[in-house]
Chains A and B, each alone.
Chain A
Amino acid sequence: MANLYIDNVHKSFGETHILKGIDMDIADGEFIILVGPSGCGKSTLMNCIAGLEQVTTGRVIIDDEDVTQSMPKDRDIAMVFQSYALYPNMNVWKNIAFGLEIRKLPKEEIEETVGRVADLLQIRDLLKRKPSQLSGGQRQRVAMGRALARDPKIFLFDEPLSNLDAKLRVEMRTEIKKLHQRLGTTIVYVTHDQIEAMTLANRIAVMKEGHIQQFGTPQEVYDNPANQFVAGFMGSPSMNFIRCQVVDHQGDATIAMSVDGKDFHLPIPQQEKGVRERVGQEVVLGIRPEQITDVVPQQEQASTLANVDAEIIVTEPTGADTLTLIRMNDQEVNCRVHPARAGAPGDTMTFMINMDKAVFFDLASGDRI
């Protein structure tokens, strides 16, 4: 159990700069999720924390001790890999015990630890098997067991569930969450999966091109994205971005919008003062699909609502909702509609746009206004 402080870490391979000044202050017991497109430096950052790569400049501080120059073995970190990296020539027992044997723990203690971990993860029956005789889910458990047995200061998870099928992934996700609640160890966890990120994290760090774009709680990142990249990256289906103009309409700053040849105005929420000052300029409106729905009568009076008739281009039923594609300002926009009220492609239906949670980005920089 320990805190982790990453202080202005840079990492370059020759002329290629992978990490360009990463700062993270992670409290003891936090569950941190790293997300970002492939090649953004997440894995390199993990390797730098673990000591598998030397940082070029900057510091890594674990439990208030500067370990920047320490070897991986001295950092007391355990890692679960995407490929699990189980030692193929050793059985499950040996795999879990290997790190303990190297640390020269007494035999009884190793026996006891392996037993405890095996019970915790329900893999006692598998202890005599080789990794090749295990299913994907079992391997995943063994990989976790190997990490748990070490009782490290910090766990690193590198896309641990991405090789599992959908059902197992959900199960293991819950299990990891329970484990974290029980052990309270600091975890840094890389994933591609939006839902994993949202459900597991205390805080999410969104990375791109070697920089952290935003580091905050899941809800913050979702509702208040720092820029267009973060907004587009988090959430599935992703946020709609519509290029549009801020205009003065009857003395109030509004968004000019045109749907199927008809012009109308969308209200700008009061708190978005920055946008209100940009009358006459073009901005990017960010609005999530669930903010554009079928008309819900009891909400209709709110000031941030607007109704619009639009022709449906495509529908994609997902079961719980039907995703409906329409065009606004000649750009495709996804809406989330109740299945019973969704029309067919070619139909025109009335949508209700809730601007309450709309966000606005600068056209050129993509930064939040």
Chain B
Amino acid sequence: MTQSPPLSEPTRAVRKVHKPSLGDRLAEQIPRLVVSPTMLIAVVFIYGFMIWTVVLSFSTSRILPRYEFIGWQNYQRLFGNERWMVALTNLGIYGVLFVVICLAIGLLLAILLDQKIRAEGFLRTVYLYPMALSFIVTGTVWKWLLNPSVGIQRFGRELGFENFRFDWLVSSDMSIYTVVIAAVWQSSGFVMALFLAGLRGVDDSIIKAAQIDGASRITVYTRIIIPSLRPVFFSAIIMLAHIAIKSFDLALALTGGGPGYSSDLPAIFMYQFSFTRGQMGVGAASAVIMLMGVMAILIPYLYSELRVKKDDR
């Protein structure tokens, strides 16, 4: 109907030109219609709200949102706040230790489990089950285990070590490390699962070739297998860093951010300033900083991920 053949070509006699019916035209739009609710969600609830939070962070909002803008004042107040600086420092300590220890334990366990172990399925289940628990449950349990007067410290003393001390939970200097202990307990099995999947994906013939070349088992691991797990390291670090930045429930249940605010984390800070202390502007500013942190980690990751995916078609 719209497309006429080029003039140079002889026009072919056609009995009938099929035009798309109304139903066909509607059918063509179904895919777009079907994803439109989700598209709305993405645009409004994810990106719209992110921008909204940024807007709030420049406003005078306290208990309720108010749209009078005060420039960078909330950020100045945020970074002038000793508690926020403690929370950031804690996140640094916690984040680095959590990621490094989880990677080390996860990789070690995965390699050990990869030695044709008899009860592998059972052991894997045991290592991974904490991941099914909520951080609140983990926090509750470890809060009790780490409580000096009833938990591990008392147990040690009862065994006869009169001077055994393990009171990090109630020590301002050490409380953040208890969060690390509980978080590692919960998440290291997950890293193990990631690495194990990666190890199982390593091409067997490469390993055989290396063995024929005379490489010892340790050399095979350090020189061939572990380097080939680079993408797994990459995604494990992303996932763990992401968990660390979002960490909220675990610290809240375990230490409540205390003693004092010695084990505070940005997520707790954000929640309390926004919802319980009526400092919405400062809370929004802290949320924006957290968002920036996640983006700084994610954007290189998503970039590389999507570049690979382009080859799909």
Which A residues are within 8 Å of any B CB, using their own CB?
5, 7-8, 23, 57-59, 61, 63-71, 74
Contacts and interface: CB of A to CB of B under 8 A. Distances in A.
A5 B5 CA distance: 12
A158 B16 CA distance: 28
Closest 4 pairs (CB-CB, A-B):
A66-B17, A64-B15, A70-B18, A65-B16
A65 B13 CA distance: 9
Nearest to A71: B24
5 contacts: A58-B5, A64-B14, A65-B15, A67-B18, A68-B3
Contacts of B6: 8
A67 B242 CA distance: 53
Nearest to A23: B9
Contact of B12 (A7, A63, A67, A70): A7
Nearest to A70: B18
B27 interface: yes
Contact of A69 (B9, B12, B14, B19): B19
B3 A57 contact: yes
A28 B24 CA distance: 28
A7 B9 contact: yes
A57 B4 CA distance: 9
B20 interface: yes
Interface of B: prevailing SS: loop
Interface in B212-256: none
Nearest to B8: A8
Given A65-B15, A66-B16, A71-B20, 20 more contacts: A5-B12, A7-B9, A8-B5, A57-B3, A58-B3, A58-B5, A61-B12, A64-B13, A64-B14, A64-B16, A65-B14, A65-B16, A65-B18, A66-B14, A69-B18, A69-B19, A70-B20, A70-B24, A71-B24, A74-B18
Contacts of A23: 9
Interface in B1-42: 1, 3, 5-6, 9, 12-20, 24, 27
Contacts of B14: 61, 64-66
A64 B15 CA distance: 6
B301 to A, nearest CB: 26
Q: Which of A5, A59, A74 has the most CB of B within 10 A?
A: A59
B234 to A, nearest CB: 30
A275 to B, nearest CB: 31
Nearest to B28: A71
A74 B13 CA distance: 20
Given A59-B3, A66-B17, A71 B9 contact: no
Nearest to B16: A65
Contacts of B24: 70-71
Nearest to A25: B12
Contact of B9 (A8, A64, A65, A67): A8
A316 B294 CA distance: 62
Nearest to A57: B3
Contacts of B9: 7-8, 23
A356 B59 CA distance: 90
Nearest to B17: A66
Contacts of A64: 13-16
A59 B16 CA distance: 13
B311 to A, nearest CB: 14
Nearest to A74: B18
Contacts of B17: 65-66
A69 B5 contact: no
A67 B12 CA distance: 13
Nearest to B1: A69
B13 A66 contact: no
A295 B17 CA distance: 61
Contacts of B13: 64
Contacts of A7: 5, 9, 12
A68 B19 CA distance: 8
Contacts of B12: 5, 7, 59, 61
A59 B5 contact: yes
A74 B16 CA distance: 14
Contacts of A5: 12
A5 B17 CA distance: 13
A65 B17 CA distance: 6
A10 to B, nearest CB: 10
